[in-house]
Amino acid sequence: MRSRTIPMREVHVWELPVRLYHWINALCVTVLCITGFIIGRPIAISSGTEAYFQYWFGTVRFIHFVSAFLFFFNFVFRTYWGFAGNEFSRWYNFIPLKKCQWKEIMDVIKVDILQVKHKQIDSIGHNSLASFIYFITFVIFLLQCLTGFGMYSAMSSSFLPKMFAWIVPFLGGDMSVRQLHHILMWGFILFAIVHVYLVFYHDYIERRGITSSMIGGWKFIEEDVVERHNNETEDCPKTTK
């Protein structure tokens, strides 16, 4: 049997709201990508019949819109949690305003992406590169909501979609809005592929239990990293105090 003895601490990193957000979000994005793709490129599943026998395309669109609302409110909630949650989920993790965050980004690129350097990355929450990518993803979330609700405003008279109606003239018409919405879908797909791979990669290399951390909330962190975090002598303390 191969085993390793190493002083580790269990750290509660992701609170329940963050975990709930994550899985609702992942589910919504998956459903939105699948239904969105079908809306853009409907499959020829039936013909030779009359319209009053079926409603499948309407149903696909309905599912898209229901998940869209869920996705939107979930995203609004996560934004709020960026100001209310624990230190690992706060907004300052995601926006690299400090020099050391940029240094950590460079380090992660060298250590994990190009693999030209061997070093331990101190981060207990997201590392700076991951956070920054999530920030860009949040911007894409926002754009997707703007364009989605912008298109939706033409088929709804309710208050929320109407708030987004301005985006259509702003982008020069529904055609451009739809095009942008469709292009952004690929942003989601590419992100998800790389994201899931990197989660598995980190689990494989660091063995901090990162995959399950999004399920149970706990991560295994080396004793020394936790110590340095508590003394704020880690490479890049991210809190704003």
Partner 1 sequence: MENKQPSFYEEAKSDGISRKDFLKFCASMAVLLGIENSGVGQIVKALETKPRLPVIWFHFQECTCCSESFIRASHPIVANIVLDKISLDYQETLMAASGAAAEDAYKAVMAKYPGEYIVMVEGSIPTENEAYCCIGGRSAKQILEEAAKNAKAVVAWGNCASAGCVQAASPNPTGAQPVHKVISGKPIINVQGCPPIADVMAGIVVHLLTFDRIPQLDALNRPKAFYSRRVHDTCYRRANFDAGLFVESFDDEGAKRGYCLYKMGCKGPVTYNSCGIIKWNDGISYPIQSGHPCIGCSEAGFWDNGPFYQHLPGIEGFGIETTADKIGLGLGVATAAGIAAHAIVTNVRKHKEITNAPETATTIDNSKES
- Applying CB under 8 A, the residues found at the interface with partner 1 are 1-7, 40-42, 44-49, 51-58, 60, 113, 115, 118-120, 154-155, 165-166, 168-169, 172-179, 182-183, 185-186, 189-190, 193-194, 197, 201, 204-206, 222-224
Q: Alpha carbon of 40 to those of 22, 32, 48, 60, 82: distances in Å?
A: 26, 12, 22, 11, 34
| Min separation Cβ 139 and partner 1, Å | 19
Interface residue with ligand HEM, options 104, 105, 177, 181 (CB under 6 A)? 181
Contact yes or no for 221/11 (Cβ under 8 A): yes
Taking the least distance from each CB to ligand HEM, the nearer of 152 and 225 is: 152
8 Å CB contact between 153 and 168: yes
CB of 71 to partner 1, least distance (A): 20
- Tally of CB atoms within 10 A around 213: 20
Residue 52 touches which member of partner 1, ligand HEM, none, C-beta under 5-8 Å by kind: partner 1
Instruction: Work out whether 128 is an interface residue with ligand HEM (CB under 6 A).
Output: no
CA dist list (Å): 124 to 98, 106, 152, 204: 17, 17, 40, 16
Stretch touching ligand HEM by CB under 6 A, among 99-107, 109-117, 147-155, 225-233: 147-155
**Which one of 24-32, 97-105, 114-122, 222-230 is the stretch in contact with ligand HEM (CB under 6 A)?**
24-32
Q: What is the DSSP letter of 155?
A: G
Which of 11, 24, 36, 104 touches ligand HEM (CB under 6 A)? 36
Cα-Cα-Cα-Cα dihedral of 14, 238, 226, 228, to 10°? Answer: 180
Spatial separation of the C-alpha atoms in residues 215 and 117, rounded to whole Å:
31
Nearer to ligand HEM, 100 or 180 (CB): 180
> Taking CB under 6 A as the rule, does residue 178 contact ligand HEM?
yes
